[in-house]
């Protein structure tokens, strides 16, 4: 005993260095106490640091729901310099003021990054559903002109998230991720799942959460936006590949009322020759509201669900189906979940057992949300989903109301007990848990079909579960269209790369007879142009159907504009699928805010209506009406849109081949069928064949477009399109490199292989120039190469 005491004394003597304050060095950082607060600083890597604070002797520990990375032993130097305890890795200097407990972060060269506001950690005693805990808050000091991004989907139309206050409780159209990143190259993740307020003003930037046994946040230094995204994914999970077919065009509506109607829509698209890869079945296929989400086809209009799915598949299309996180009282899942006390008691959708609107409170539906935090409840959920739907060959899931819906919330609602404590304590992580449950269970059943989940809500880490988040039931307007752009960009900057919105807006409350309304028809055409350059291109909504033939016929302006962008989407599939591999393999991002590629261009940092799709295509959606005059469509005059070409490169007009210098504001003509698109000089873009669905034709005769003006490269990725063999290395890549000065294209040796891989193919090389910028205008290609997997270099 005396010897152990002597060793402890020596340790403390070493770490105090004569200071009145002491600390303990651990394998991953330090522990100490200052006044009445315990501190722990943990290095997860040389550039990722976790900061923990809690009331003294409270023994705060937490298993994160979002963070799956474990701290790794990192070489750090720990030293006291006066009042400052300094922890230094190869990438970061973390300083803890031993007098007041303030933590600050600098680069290894001493460049300031972020500092806590002095004495700003707050612990306020709080009784949470009968348990003594705390409300917690931490404030930081940002530079005056610093730009920050992230926080999820806010529907506020802002790119830079400064000078705002947001109360974060997941809801239909707002998805909250308590994370932001700075144009200074760092990110901060506030790891708390309770209702949280984010506030930024002239005095401070803070997170304040209703429930927390301690303060828990992660600081990461990625040097740039891509680096921060990569570190957030390193912390919370990497992104699996989606099947190729998910990148085609998707048709949906609220709702197809019979299997004949749904199959008929697919048939109509095939008859018209308009490409389509997916059809979505919305709610009520289970019957009445007391059978809500029964995970069975109990509606007599869906008389043979196996035939319905087979009919869709026989037309070379795919199908996903609406599932919810709640169950009606007459369903089998409800009864089994209730038997293990895994149903919550609060007001959710639908409110009434009757279909009539408004809901009749005399006939409550009795629908209850299930406890997705409970692993046994997730098992039950999947058991019925697998037996009733997945076993029929369903291709994917539309998890609606994954927040979940919680109407007129009362404080007592949050006292509902989950498997992990009160609902209040874990409320915002609900979508992560329910989406994760479906993903994990399907992966256990089969590796032959990739998981694809379309879902309405998101939390940090959800990117690891094969999910694409849509922005909720937005009300259609030009303003709403514009807001969907910054929504997707800020979510992507949180490390969650897959996003889409209801093309055309969900509700059409502001439009009478929308399909005959010139303003709405123009809005829909512009929204579908934007949708063609999102990770998922999906038309959906209520109040009016959205199929292409609802907007006229071939030869009419709206129809032709819609068809043009669906076809354009399919021609870009080799580019899109290769970009998706870059997202999974290299932690890249598909919808790229301009800060990602032009961090030094101050004019680009706060642009909320332009972005890069992949690393080559600048997308400039039209978000104002141009051709609706007094309720009539007037296409006689060509209108214009003002846009900014970021500095540091030249840009080639996708439609004309004209080259322009970056760093300038220009105006671009925007007839109804033109959304301004510019390609970065030095880009190489593969163009796929004309198809009716994604896998109709092999990529054995690709057009390879070269955009001159700079050196560049592109890696073409291919695999079996829909299984997890790529995780075993069964895929191939072909790297294209362009040397601009000597006009030389080099196609490298193919790396890798997979079953069904093309042994030989044509690459039709086209140098884009005015009057010769695509396969429709080119009289001939600059070069056609027969490629057999070996290096080819050609001077053009």
166: tokens are 């947001």
Task: Give the integer Cα–Cα distance in Å for 456 and 482.
Answer: 19
* The dihedral sign for the CA sequence 692, 544, 285, 433: positive
Q: Classify residue 795 as exposed, middle or buried by CB count within 10 Å of its CB (0-12, 13-18, 19+).
A: exposed
Torsional class of 709: left (φ above 0), alpha (ψ -120 to 50), beta (otherwise) = left
The full DSSP string for 182-239 is ETTSEEEEE---S-EEEEE-SS-EEEEES--SSEEEEEEE-SSHHHHHHHHHHHH-PP
Q: What are phi and psi of 136, to 5 degrees?
A: -130, 150
Strand-by-strand arrangement of the 684-687 sheet: 684-687, 701-706, 761-767, 783-787
Q: Sign of dihedral through CA atoms 781, 786, 788, 790?
A: negative
323 close to 400: Cβ distance less than 8 angstroms:
yes
Q: Give per-residue burial for 22-37: e unless 16+ CB within 10 Å, then b.
A: ebeeeebbbebebeeb
Buried b (16+ CB within 10 A) or exposed e, 784-794: ebebebeebee
- Starting at the edge strand found earlier in the chain, the sheet holding 611-613 runs 591-592, 611-613, 617-619, 677-680, 650-653, 659-661
The pair phi, psi for residue 521, each rounded to 5°, is: -60, -40
* Chain centroid, CA 566 distance in Å: 22
Q: Is 535 helix (H, G, I), strand (E, B) or coil?
A: coil
**DSSP assignments along 251-280, one per residue:** E--S---SHHHHHHHHHHHHHHT----EEE
User: Phi and psi of 47, rounded to 5°?
Assistant: -125, 5
Which pair of tokens denotes residue 85? 């305890």
The backbone torsions φ and ψ at residue 42, rounded to the nearest 5 degrees and listed phi first, read: -120, 130
Q: Which pair of tokens denotes residue 110?
A: 């001493």
Instruction: For the chain, give the number of residues.
Output: 796
Q: With 0-12 CB in 10 A as exposed, 13-18 as middle and 19+ as buried, what is 603?
A: middle
Which residues belong to the active site?
Answer: 400, 403, 473
User: In the chain, what is the greatest distance between 2 CA atoms, to the nearest angstrom?
Assistant: 95
What's the CA gap between 521 and 540, in Å, rounded? Answer: 14
Beta bridge partners of 613: 591, 617
Strand partners, 278: 250, 318
For 403, the token pair is 């927040």
Report the 3 state secondary structure along 364-406.
ECCCEEECCCCHHHHHHHHHHHHHHCHHHCCCEEEECCCCCCC
State how far the Cα of 593 lies from the Cα of 599, in Å rounded to an integer: 10
List of E strands, 546-654: 591-592, 611-613, 617-619, 628-629, 632-633, 640-645, 650-653
3-state secondary structure of 177: strand
Tokens matching residue 491:
């979510």
């Amino acid at each position: 005993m005396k010897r152990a005491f002597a060793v402890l004394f020596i340790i403390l003597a070493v770490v105090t260095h004569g200071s009145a304050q002491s600390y303990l060095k651990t394998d991953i950082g330090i522990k100490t106490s200052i006044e009445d607060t315990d501190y722990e600083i943990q290095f997860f890597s040389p550039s990722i640091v976790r900061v923990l604070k809690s009331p003294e002797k409270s023994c705060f520990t937490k298993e994160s729901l979002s963070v799956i990375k474990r701290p790794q032993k990192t070489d750090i130097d720990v030293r006291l310099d006066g009042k400052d305890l300094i922890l230094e890795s190869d990438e970061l200097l973390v300083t803890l003021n031993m007098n007041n407990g303030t933590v600050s972060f600098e680069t290894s060269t001493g460049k300031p990054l972020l500092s806590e506001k002095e004495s700003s950690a707050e612990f306020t005693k709080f009784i949470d559903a009968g348990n003594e805990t705390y409300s917690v808050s931490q404030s930081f000091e940002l530079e005056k002109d610093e730009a920050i991004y992230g926080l999820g989907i806010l529907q506020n139309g802002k790119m830079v998230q400064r000078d705002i206050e947001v109360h974060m409780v997941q809801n239909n159209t707002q998805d909250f991720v308590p994370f932001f990143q700075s144009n200074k190259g760092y990110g901060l993740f506030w790891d708390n799942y309770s209702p949280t307020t984010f506030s930024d003003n002239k005095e401070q930037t803070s997170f304040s959460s209703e429930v927390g046994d301690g303060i828990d946040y992660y600081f990461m230094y990625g040097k740039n936006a891509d680096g921060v995204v990569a570190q957030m994914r390193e912390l919370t999970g990497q992104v699996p590949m989606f099947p190729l077919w998910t990148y085609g065009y998707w048709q949906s509506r609220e709702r197809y009322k019979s299997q004949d109607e749904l199959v008929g829509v697919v048939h109509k698209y095939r008859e018209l020759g308009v490409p389509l890869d997916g059809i979505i079945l919305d709610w009520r296929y289970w019957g009445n509201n007391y059978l809500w989400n029964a995970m069975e086809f109990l509606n007599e209009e869906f008389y043979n669900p196996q035939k319905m799915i087979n009919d869709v598949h026989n037309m070379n299309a795919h199908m996903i189906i609406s599932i919810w996180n709640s169950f009606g009282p007459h369903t089998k899942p409800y009864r089994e979940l209730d038997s293990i006390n895994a149903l919550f008691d609060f007001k959710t959708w639908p409110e009434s057992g009757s279909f009539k609107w408004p809901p009749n409170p005399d006939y409550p539906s009795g629908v209850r949300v299930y406890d997705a935090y409970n692993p046994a409840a997730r098992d039950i959920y999947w058991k019925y989903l697998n037996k009733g739907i997945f076993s029929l060959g369903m291709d994917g899931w539309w998890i609606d109301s994954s927040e979940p819906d919680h109407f007129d919330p009362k404080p007592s609602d949050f006292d509902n007990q989950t498997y992990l404590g009160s609902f209040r304590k874990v409320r915002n992580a609900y979508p992560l848990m329910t989406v994760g449950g479906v993903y994990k269970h399907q992966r256990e059943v089969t590796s032959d079909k990739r998981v694809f989940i379309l879902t309405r809500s998101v939390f940090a880490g959800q990117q690891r579960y094969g999910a694409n988040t849509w922005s909720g039931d937005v009300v259609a307007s030009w303003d709403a269209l514009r807001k969907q752009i910054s929504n997707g960009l800020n979510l992507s900057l949180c490390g969650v790369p897959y996003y889409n919105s209801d093309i055309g807006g969900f509700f059409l409350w502001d439009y009478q007879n929308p399909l005959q309304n010139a303003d709405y028809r123009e809005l829909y055409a512009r929204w579908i142009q934007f949708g063609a350059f999102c990770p998922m291109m999906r038309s959906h909504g209520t109040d009016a159907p959205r199929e292409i033939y609802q907007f006229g016929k071939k030869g009419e302006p709206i129809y032709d504009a819609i068809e043009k962008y669906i076809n354009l989407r399919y021609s870009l599939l080799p580019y899109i699928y290769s970009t998706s591999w870059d997202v999974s393999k290299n932690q890249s991002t598909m919808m790229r805010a301009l800060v990602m590629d032009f961090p030094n261009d101050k004019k680009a940092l706060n642009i909320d209506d332009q972005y890069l799709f992949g690393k080559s295509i600048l997308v400039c959606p039209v978000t104002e009406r141009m051709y609706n005059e007094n309720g009539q469509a007037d296409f006689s005059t060509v209108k214009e849109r003002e846009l900014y070409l970021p500095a540091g490169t030249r840009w080639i007009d996708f439609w004309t081949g004209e080259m322009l210098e970056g760093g300038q504001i220009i105006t671009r003509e925007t007839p109804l069928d033109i959304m301004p698109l510019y390609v970065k000089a030095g880009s190489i873009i593969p163009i796929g064949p004309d198809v009716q669905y994604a896998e109709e034709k092999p990529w054995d005769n690709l057009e390879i477009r070269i955009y001159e003006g700079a050196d560049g490269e592109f890696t073409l990725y291919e695999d079996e399109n829909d299984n997890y063999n790529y995780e075993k290395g069964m895929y191939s890549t072909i790297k294209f490199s362009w040397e601009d000065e000597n006009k030389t294209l080099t196609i490298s040796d193919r790396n890798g292989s997979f079953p069904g891989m093309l042994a030989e193919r044509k690459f039709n090389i086209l140098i884009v120039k005015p009057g010769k910028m695509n396969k429709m205008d080119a009289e001939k290609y600059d070069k056609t190469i027969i490629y057999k997997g070996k290096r080819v270099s050609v001077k053009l």
